[in-house]
């Protein structure tokens, strides 16, 4: 049978369809125009195969793709043009790399004949993207398109996920080739799922069985590996208290009796203190980030460390492991669990209570149930968390809004937190929330942001308007770059260098984009404002005028050990 002769651009679209792509985020331009011409047919009418979401900035395309991927478990896809179009995506590519988010970026490029001539909007994309992606590749011929797309998706979604960048010169988009679907499931020297070592599994089980004060550290690897039930079976059989990293917050239900809180610089006091007292530390799908360990030389020196990770390069990188179990945690967790004795560490678990109660009295209760004064960020987050009952997707921007939201939101369901962890990208919130509404259209998406991050991607209100994306935006406006201001107050003598912000009238901004809006200036208005936001179909902007110099606590100061957390600022 004669194969179909198609342009490289049409082969690209057919290859995306073969990968099961349902939504693409993008922005057209000169060097990608042939692909967009093909998209015209495949996003409408009888040939419609998927949706294309026109963002207002290419960086937003990547963050939207990240949001989509994080809540759906699928690969996020974005299509952009060459030069500034693709360089605008690089922040999102780096963000996805650090947070292990599966994403494929397809970028136009000048034709092969013009490469190296400094042609209009030419940039060495493969060279630029290589250090911040799992794979970057230039498709030079239409015959290679189907193979390259299949390989890109395989690499992006397998093993430890991450971003892949495809550079697509214009000649390869317009030249013709025979269309034949490709299926790549092997790349030489790439081992995405290492075979677990039975001896390491036995040693890990032996250490956990002998432990008197074990503590599990649950990371995003559990979410990425879809190992939620395996994690529950493990901690429940062993009776191990479990703390979660920022990106692993929804890997374990907030209300689970063995859940002892959030780790890290602004995490909960009890698990941070108890890391320094446990005798066996079991890290599951987490990388011992500096925001978790604090001063690494003083971190958990008394504990035997069992580290479960799919990526061998993370083993011993920051914290030395006594037992390293390399492999997919969906496989390694049950392998260890089978060797565990049924156990309970009730006395050890109860020992968390004094630190938890101290934090509640000094930090949590004043933050979510203040006696008076200005509206606080903690009570805003708590009000939304209570109203959504742990069922919503939490999306955050970066800064104080991120830490307050992560601390006080509640999670009953997996894949429920979308935030920029490793790179800390301001402006992430709005586009990531847009992507989340496409990745989980049946769920409520609540996006918390500060006035700084909101204005970094404020143009994406245009995308929300056009798509009627049902993002519930909670803008906690303190007229500051709040996180930097807090550090300036704590460590730079209160010298507030360029952190005070003059803000627009957000009511008029919302009106310009046709987005319903409410301003809350007093806590007496908060419950009604939240109720109105959640009851209104489609997008909504709830602006909350919060205390200007509110601080996120507890806090482990930089250079300090994790148990040197501050519960108050004197």
* Model confidence at 2: pLDDT above 70: no
Strand, coil or helix: 320: coil
**pLDDT confidence bin for 570, thresholds 50/70/90:** confident
How confident is the model at residue 278, as a pLDDT? 98
How confident is the model at residue 558, as a pLDDT? 94
Q: What confidence tens digit (pLDDT) does each residue in 215-232 have?
A: 999 999 999 999 999 999
* Model confidence at 370: pLDDT above 90: yes
Strand, coil or helix: 202: helix
120: number of Cβ within 10 Å: 11
d(C-alpha 533, C-alpha 384), whole Å: 10
Q: What confidence tens digit (pLDDT) does each residue in 505-531 have?
A: 999 999 999 999 999 999 999 999 999
The least confident of 16-20, 29-33, 46-50, 208-212 is: 46-50
* For residues 60-67, average pLDDT: 98
Which one, of 552, 399, 383, 553, lies nearest residue 472 by Cα?
383
Q: What confidence tens digit (pLDDT) does each residue in 403-432 have?
A: 999 999 999 999 999 999 999 999 999 999
CA 333 remoteness from chain centre: 23
SS (H, E, C) 64-128: HHHHHHHHHCCCEEEEECCCHHHHCCHHHHHHHHHCCCCEEEEEEECCHHHCCCCCCCCCCHHHH
Mean pLDDT, the chain, as a whole number?
97
* For residues 357-377, average pLDDT: 97
* For residues 232-253, average pLDDT: 98
Number of H helices, E strands in the chain: 25, 20
Q: Which residues have C-beta within 8 Å of that of residue 535, sequence separation ≥ 6?
A: none
* For residues 326-352, average pLDDT: 98
* Model confidence at 61: pLDDT above 90: yes
User: What's the chain's Rg over C-alpha atoms?
Assistant: 24
Phi, psi of 169 (to 5 degrees): -60, 150
Top-confidence residue, 88 or 2: 88
* Model confidence at 552: pLDDT above 90: yes
Q: Which residues have C-beta within 8 Å of that of residue 320, sequence separation ≥ 6?
A: 305
415 and 70 Cβ atoms separated by less than 8 Å: yes
How confident is the model at residue 1, as a pLDDT? 56
What percent of the chain is modeled with pLDDT above 90? 98
d(C-alpha 190, C-alpha 188), whole Å: 5
* For residues 279-283, average pLDDT: 98
Q: What is the pTM of this model?
A: 0.97
**How many angstroms separate the Cα of 407 from the Cα of each of 43, 128, 204?**
40, 36, 31
10 and 173 Cβ atoms separated by less than 8 Å: no
Which one, of 63, 121, 55, 51, lies nearest residue 89 by Cα?
63
Angle value at C-alpha 380, between 445 and 482, nearest 5 degrees: 95
SS (H, E, C) 205-230: HHHHHHCCCEEEEECCHHHHCCCHHH
How confident is the model at residue 117, as a pLDDT? 94
* Burial class for 48, CB neighbours closer than 10 Å (0-12, 13-18, 19+): exposed
What percent of the chain is modeled with pLDDT above 70? 100
Going by the DSSP 8-state scheme, the letter that residue 299 receives in this structure is S
How confident is the model at residue 294, as a pLDDT? 97
Angle value at C-alpha 395, between 393 and 397, nearest 5 degrees: 170
Q: Which residues have C-beta within 8 Å of that of residue 452, sequence separation ≥ 6?
A: 399, 426, 480, 481, 482, 501
**pLDDT confidence bin for 3, thresholds 50/70/90:** confident
């Amino acid at each position: 049978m004669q194969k179909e002769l198609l342009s490289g651009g049409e082969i690209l679209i057919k290859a995306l369809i073969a990968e099961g792509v349902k939504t693409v985020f993008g922005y057209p331009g000169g060097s990608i125009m042939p692909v967009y011409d093909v998209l015209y047919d495949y996003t409408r009418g009888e040939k419609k195969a998927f949706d294309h979401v026109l963002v207002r900035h290419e960086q937003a395309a990547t963050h939207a793709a990240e949001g989509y991927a994080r809540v759906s478990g699928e690969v996020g896809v974005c299509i952009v043009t060459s030069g500034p179009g693709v360089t605008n995506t690089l922040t999102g590519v780096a963000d996805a790399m650090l947070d292990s988010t599966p994403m494929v970026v397809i970028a136009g490029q000048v034709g092969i004949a013009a490469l190296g001539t400094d042609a209009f909007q030419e940039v060495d994309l493969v060279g630029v993207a290589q250090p911040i992606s799992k794979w970057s590749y230039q498709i030079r011929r239409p015959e290679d398109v189907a193979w390259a797309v299949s390989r890109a998706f395989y690499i992006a979604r397998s093993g430890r996920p991450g971003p892949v960048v495809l550079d697509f010169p214009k000649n390869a988009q317009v030249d013709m080739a025979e269309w034949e679907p490709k299926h790549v499931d092997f790349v030489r020297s790439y081992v995405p799922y290492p075979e677990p070592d039975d001896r390491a599994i036995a040693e890990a089980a032996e250490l956990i069985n002998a432990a008197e004060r074990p503590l599990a550290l649950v990371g995003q690897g559990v979410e990425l590996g879809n190992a939620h039930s395996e994690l529950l079976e493990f901690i429940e059989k062993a009776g191990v208290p479990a703390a979660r990293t920022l990106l692993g917050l929804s890997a374990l239900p907030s209300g689970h009796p063995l859940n002892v809180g959030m780790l890290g610089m602004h995490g909960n006091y009890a698990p941070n203190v108890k890391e320094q007292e446990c005798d066996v530390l079991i890290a599951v799908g987490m990388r011992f980030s500096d925001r978790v360990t604090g001063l690494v030389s003083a971190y958990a020196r008394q504990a035997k460390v069992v580290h479960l990770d799919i990526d061998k390069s993370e083993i011993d990188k920051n914290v030395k492991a006594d037992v390293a179990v390399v492999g997919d945690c969906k496989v390694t967790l049950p392998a260890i669990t089978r060797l565990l004795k049924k156990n309970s560490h009730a006395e050890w678990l109860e020992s968390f209570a004094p630190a938890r109660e101290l934090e509640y009295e000094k930090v949590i209760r004043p933050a979510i149930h203040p006696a008076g004064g200005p509206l606080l960020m903690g009570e805003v987050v708590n009000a939304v968390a209570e109203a959504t009952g742990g069922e919503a997707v939490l999306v955050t921007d970066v800064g104080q809004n991120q830490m307050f939201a992560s601390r006080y939101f509640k999670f009953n369901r997996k894949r429920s937190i979308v935030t920029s962890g490793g790179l800390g990208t301001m402006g992430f919130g709005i586009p990531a929330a847009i992507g989340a509404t496409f990745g989980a259209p049946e769920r409520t998406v609540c996006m918390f942001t500060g006035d700084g991050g909101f204005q970094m991607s404020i143009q994406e209100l245009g995308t929300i308007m056009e798509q009627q994306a049902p993002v519930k935006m909670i803008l906690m406006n303190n007229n500051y770059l709040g996180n930097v201001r807090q550090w300036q107050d704590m460590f730079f003598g209160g010298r507030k260098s360029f952190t005070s912000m003059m803000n627009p009238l957000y009511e008029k901004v919302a009106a310009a984009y046709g987005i319903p809006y409410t301003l809350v200036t007093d806590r007496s208005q908060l419950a009604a404002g939240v109720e109105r936001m959640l009851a209104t179909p489609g997008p909504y902007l709830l602006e909350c005028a919060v205390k200007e110099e509110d601080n996120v606590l507890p806090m482990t100061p930089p250079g300090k050990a994790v148990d040197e957390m501050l519960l108050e600022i004197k």
